[in-house]
């Protein structure tokens, strides 16, 4: 199974590249935000638990998110693979994900990180705020805070996968197609290793 962690700060281009990868490799997109929304909409036990916490302004605990990912893996046993987007965000989550995938007889093939400078991210997010109407993308102070939070909390996850020899960084600035080609080259090398 081809399992990719697509990594990068808000505004790095993960959404754009995810869609292209899904179309090309027929992978299932696992976005924790989408998962939470669909579980809540379906009124599942995990969804109700998550909603209760979110309504109190609390973060959804890792075990609830891992439970949702587990459900998705079991629903899609015949999948070619998955793209993990927005998860794992911490080393603890990465460790839990490894355990879960191992229980499902698979593993992370690799992490692809889109690297973009803080200035470029701020510019992109503020521009996105003008077109998307997302309030969190319209306030420069909030945007910079989100990027800093990413750098502090999420960046150590890169080290976790680097220690496993699964980390690949790509310059996220440039033509979308050129970046996509670079990502495909890395994924094709994963696919070759899986067949070996």
Task: Report d(CA 155, CA 194) in Å as an integer.
Answer: 27
Catalytic site residues? 14, 89, 128, 134, 146
pLDDT given for residue 53 in this prediction: 83
pLDDT given for residue 143 in this prediction: 86
Reduced to 3 states (helix: H, G, I; strand: E, B; else coil), residue 87 is coil
16 is in an annotated binding site: yes
11 is in an annotated binding site: yes
Among 98, 84, 108, CA closest to 31: 84
Cβ atoms of 118 and 147 within 8 Å: the answer is: yes
Reduced to 3 states (helix: H, G, I; strand: E, B; else coil), residue 56 is coil
Domain positions in the chain are 2-181
pLDDT given for residue 79 in this prediction: 94
Reduced to 3 states (helix: H, G, I; strand: E, B; else coil), residue 90 is coil
DSSP letter at 136 equals G
Quote the longest CA-to-CA distance of the chain. 49
- Its pTM stands at 0.86
2-181: CATH class: alpha beta
58 is in an annotated binding site: yes
59 is in an annotated binding site: yes
Give me the tens of pLDDT residue by residue for the chain, a chain 196 residues long.
999 999 988 889 998 999 999 999 999 999 887 888 888 899 998 889 888 888 887 778 888 889 889 989 999 999 999 999 878 988 999 999 999 999 999 999 999 999 999 999 999 989 988 888 777 788 888 888 888 888 888 889 999 999 999 999 999 999 999 999 999 999 999 888 888 7
In degrees, to the nearest 5, what angle opens at C-alpha 186 toward C-alphas 168 and 89? 40
Cβ atoms of 2 and 25 within 8 Å: the answer is: yes
134 is in an annotated binding site: yes
pLDDT given for residue 38 in this prediction: 87
pLDDT given for residue 28 in this prediction: 94
Cβ atoms of 137 and 92 within 8 Å: the answer is: no
Task: Report d(CA 170, CA 126) in Å as an integer.
Answer: 23
**Helix, strand, coil percentages for the chain (3-state, nearest 5):** 65, 15, 25
């Amino acid at each position: 199974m081809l399992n990719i962690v697509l990594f990068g700060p808000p505004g790095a281009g993960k959404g754009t590249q995810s869609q292209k990868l899904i179309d090309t490799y027929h992978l299932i997109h696992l976005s924790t935000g989408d998962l939470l929304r669909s579980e809540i909409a379906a009124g599942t036990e995990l969804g109700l638990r998550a909603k209760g916490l979110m309504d109190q302004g609390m973060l959804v605990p890792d075990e609830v998110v891992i439970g949702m990912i587990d459900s998705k893996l079991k629903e899609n046993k015949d999948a070619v693979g998955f793209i993990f987007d927005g998860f794992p965000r911490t080393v603890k989550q990465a460790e839990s994900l490894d355990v879960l995938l191992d229980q499902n007889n698979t593993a992370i093939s690799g992490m692809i990180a889109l690297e973009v400078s803080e200035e470029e991210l701020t510019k992109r997010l503020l521009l996105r705020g003008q077109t998307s109407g997302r309030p969190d993308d319209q306030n420069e102070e909030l945007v910079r805070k989100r990027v800093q939070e990413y750098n502090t909390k999420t960046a150590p996850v890169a080290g976790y996968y680097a220690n496993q020899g699964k980390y690949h960084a790509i310059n996220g600035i440039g033509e979308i197609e050129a970046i996509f080609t670079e990502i495909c080259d890395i994924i094709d090398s994963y696919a070759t290793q899986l067949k070996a």
